[in-house]
Amino acid sequence: MEEFVRLRALAAPLMRDNIDTDVIIRIDRLVGGRPDEVGKYAFELLRYLPDGGENPDFVLNREPFRRAQILLAGANFGCGSSREPAVWALQQMGFRCVVAPSFGDIFFANCFQNGMLPVVMERRTVEAIAAEVEADAAHGFVTVDLQKQTIVSPSGKEFRFEIEPARREALLHGLDEIGMTMRREAEIAAFQSRDRNRRPWIYR
Amino acid sequence: MGRTLFDKIWDEHVVADLGNEVALMHVDLHLMHDLGGGPGFRMLAEKGYRVRNPELTFATADHAVSSAPGRTEDTNPVGGRLLRMLRAASAANGIRMFDLGSDGQGIVHVIGPEMGLSLPGMTIVCGDSHTCTHGGVGALAFGIGSTELVHVLATQTLVQRRPRRMRVTMDGAPAAGVTPKDMILHLIGLVGAAAGSGFAVEYAGAAIRALGVEGRLTICNLSIELGAKIGMVAPDDATFEYIAGRPMAPKGEMWERALAHWRNLNSDGDAEFEREVRFDSGALAPQVTWGTSPEHVIAIDGRVPDPDGAIDAGRRASMRAALEYMDLKPGARLEGLPIERVFIGSCTNSRLSDLRAAARVAKGAKVASRVRAWVVPGSTGVKRAAEAEGLDRIFRDAGFEWREPGCSLCVGANGEMVDPGKRCVSTSNRNFVGRQGPGARTHLASPVSAAAAALAGCLVDVRKLGVEPWKNS
């Protein structure tokens, strides 16, 4: 997994609540599609017009936001379906970090499996950063520092964020969760052996 | 201090405490489906791992199969490819699969409880967000992504954070025409679609206790639309009666041991919840969504709200976009709004009690000429049981299409979609933009409200049809 330590990049505001994973990537692009090609279909119904052309009104189609690597979003971002390609689609668009007041729980967990940093910040803070970015988009550079757990707005305002320590550690060092659990095989075997006596009906 | 139902199940599954409320958890049951199954096995192989506990893993085909009468696995060609991938990988890894046409095939969240796979006190995962459904039998069940799915295949465990606990108490007794679907939609409207984020929700109260297991499965199914990946109801005699005798349920002495264990699965009287929500289900009207989030819901006799009344800019933006997509104006009435499609099905509302309730409304009536109405039973078992009591004939006589089990119109992954700009009254769980097809306009409602809309050709207050109170099967 790719490490995430510090990122200074353009931010794009998509300040609408309840952006669900169906909107991020449609399911019919996953059925039979290639996982490494989902990026071009990200936000498909917002990003493209019915004739296939780009929708000029969609914020991520506009300069300089099409080069943004940090997404500022409304509450409940990534709600809905558990589809992990929603994270892959954002990554393939170039995003490495999403800042929002709240996230869908499964999307939030999926981010950490892929080196994507989801940052929870108070709504008014996300809105304040988004307002700065919108006021001067060309200079809308935001710095996300996972080591220091801070976000610095374009004008230099610094905000601290909380993140669960194990997840921070895994992102900082690009640790693979499955590999780490594989090392606990003895504990898993011991658990199952005890559990088999206690709850034999589980082991069919 | 007492422990909640959630805590009791969680504590029993901790393989290793990783500190800071993080634990390596044992997974008792892993359910797989056609959409994520084949790709999941491919990821597993790419990473060089093998399936650790194939006997705790079960598979079925639901998302990408066609629901067309007389379907074959290639009626939807892409679905056929996914199905064969899953079939081959299941066979190669020693995993039992409920294949097309066999008992046990159906929507994964319908067949789990129906086959007696999903049991109280279990940890259950599946690469699908509606896995919370299985909480209806008192399991700790939640949806996972593809990397977590591989983690489970390889280790039979998951690294999880202990969520906060929320209790939702539904008091009273719902009026005729008000179903479990209306109760949970009302809750989402009341507290919002993000309220459950970071929580495990327990549903309690007289209105929940009075429900049979199928109604509880419906309630728990929409937990994820509340923002909570876990929703559950403490098991009781109704649960045990429901499970007893099911094909994969414990039998004989094993049943007695399991039962003794399950009887302890409830929240202690002094257990504390970080959030409590309470309402009187007796005061509810049938609910219907107007927008593109399940929180965009009102009583059928209400009016579409004005975005200007919302406190947050983000919520206002979401409501404005929803009104535009749904082609509705603030203050509009939903009752009388013409519709083109009706879908009765999905992991929310495709069980026998749902179909019975809808059939009571449809009996002897006719679907409006402007409407194409589908009934898609949730599983082969539900389909057979419904046909045995003649529900298929009632639906067909009324002009509904009676179809084969699968996710069908809920998910747009099987070639079955609603045309752009058309309105569909759907018993499913998501009214998201494009969920039922690009440009499709979804109004979520109960099976009885959906059946009534099919007959009227428009959204309608089912109470005016003199409908009976909800019945458990």
Interface check B252 vs A, CB under 8 A: no
B268 and B298 fall within a common domain: no
Mean pLDDT, to the nearest integer, of B125-149? 98
Instruction: Judge contact between A85 and A25, C-beta under 8 A.
Output: yes
Q: Tell me how far apart the alpha carbons of residues A88 and B82 are, in angstroms, rounded to a whole number.
A: 20
Return the CATH number at B307: 3.30.499.10
Q: Does B263 lie in the same domain as B295?
A: no
CA–CA distance from B330 to each of B288, B305, B326, B385, B434 (Å)? 15, 5, 11, 43, 22
Could you say which of A22, A30, A178 has the minimum Cβ distance to residue B434?
A22
Give start and end residues of each alpha helix (H) in A136-164: none
Q: Is A22 in contact with B435 (Cβ distance < 8 A)?
A: yes
Specify the 3-state DSSP secondary structure of B248. coil
Give B444→chain A minimum CA distance, Å. 15
| Ranges of H-type helices in B367-457 | 380-388, 391-398, 447-456
DSSP A121: -
By the 8 A CB rule, do A27 and A77 touch? Answer: no
Q: Are residues B39 and B77 in the same domain?
A: yes
pLDDT of residue B466 exceeding 90:
no
Q: What tens digit of pLDDT does each residue of B40-88 get? A: 999 999 999 999 999 999 999 999 999 999 999 999 999 999 999 999 9
H/E run at residue A128: helix A123-135
Please list every residue in chain A whose beta carbon sits closer than 8 Å to the beta carbon of residue B26. 188, 191-192, 195
Cβ-contact B5, B272 below 8 angstroms: no
A204 closest CB neighbour out of B49, B64, B248: B248
Q: How far is B364 from chain A (nearest CA, A)?
A: 38
Is B317 a member of any domain? yes
- Residues B152, B291 within the same domain: no
Q: With an 8 Å Cβ cutoff, are A182 and B154 in contact?
A: yes
Domain residue ranges in chain A: 6-173
Report pLDDT for B472: 83
What confidence score (pLDDT) does residue B101 get? 87
Cα A127 to chain centroid distance, Å, stands at 18
**Phi, psi at B143, each rounded to 5°:** -85, 150
Contacts of B24 in chain A (CB under 8 A): 181, 184, 187-188
Is B154 touching A (CB cutoff 8 A)? yes
Among residues 348-387 of chain B, which lie with CB inside 8 Å of chain A?
A: none
Q: Is residue B424 part of a domain?
A: yes
pLDDT category of residue A73 using cuts at 50, 70 and 90: very high
Q: What radius of gyration, in Å, describes the C-alpha atoms of chain A? A: 19
Which of B182, B190, B180 lies closest to B136, judged by CA?
B180
Q: How confident is the model at residue B471 (pLDDT cuts 50, 70, 90)?
A: confident
Residue B83, in any domain of the structure: yes
Tell me the β-bridge partners of A7. Answer: A144
Structure-token match 């489970």, residue found: B152
Q: Is B146's Cβ below 8 Å from some Cβ in A? A: yes
Asked if residue B458 and residue B328 are part of one domain, the reply reads yes
Looking at residue B14, what is its pLDDT? 98
* Residue B280 belongs to a domain: no
Same domain, B332 and B461: yes
- For residues B311 and A197, what is the distance between their CA atoms, to the nearest angstrom? 55
- Other CB atoms within 10 A of residue B81 CB: 17
The beta-carbon neighbor of B432 closest among A20, A103, A204 is: A20
B428–A contact, CB cutoff 8 A: no
A-B interface: how many C-beta pairs under 8 angstroms? 201
Quick one: B255 and B303 in the same domain? no
Mean pLDDT confidence for B197-206: 98
Chain B residues with CB-CB distance to A109 below 8 A: 144-145, 148
CA distance A176 to chain B (A): 10
Terminal-to-terminal C-alpha distance of chain B: 37
Q: Average pLDDT over chain B, rounded to whole? A: 97
Q: What is the 3-state secondary structure (H, E, C) of A8-66?
A: EEEEEEECCCCCEHHHHCCHHHCCCCCHHHCHHHCCHHHHECCCCCECCCCHHHCCCHH
Beta strands in A52-116 (DSSP E): 70-73, 97-100
Q: Are residues B78 and B157 in the same domain?
A: yes
B157 touching chain A per CB within 8 A: yes
- Is residue B425 domain-resident? yes
> Has residue B136 been placed in a domain?
yes
pLDDT in tens, B211-260: 999 999 999 999 999 999 999 999 999 999 999 999 999 999 999 999 99
Q: What is the 3-state secondary structure (H, E, C) of B125-160?
A: EECCHHHHHHHHHCCEEEECCHHHHHHHHHHCEEEE
CB atoms within 10 A of CB B230: 28
pLDDT in tens, A10-62: 999 999 999 999 999 999 899 878 889 999 999 999 999 989 999 999 999 99
Domain final residue pick, B225, B255, B275: B275
Q: How many C-beta atoms lie closer than 10 Å to residue A22's C-beta?
A: 23
Does one domain contain both B9 and B144? yes
pLDDT score of A118 more than 90: yes
Candidates B129, B229, B317; nearest CB to A74? B317
- The answer to the question of residue B470 being in a domain is no
CB spacing of B24 vs A187 below 8 angstroms? yes
Cα separation, B113 vs B29, whole angstroms:
12
Q: What is the pLDDT of residue B335?
A: 97
Judge: B145–A113 Cβ closer than 8 Å, yes or no: yes
Same-domain check for residues B261 and B300: no
Domain range enclosing B346? 287-465
Tens digit of each residue's pLDDT (9 = 90 or more) over B102-128:
989 999 999 999 999 999 999 999 999
Option in A28, A87, A165 nearest B20 (CB): A165
Residues of B within 8 A of A123 (CB-CB) are 312, 314
Mean pLDDT for A62-91 is 97
Fold topology of A6-173:
Aconitase; domain 4 (3.20.19)
To probe the interface with B, which of A31, A88, A169, A195 has the most B CB atoms within 10 Å? A31
Domain count, chain B: 2
ipTM for the assembly: 0.96
Asked if the Cβ–Cβ distance from A113 to B147 is below 8 Å, we say yes
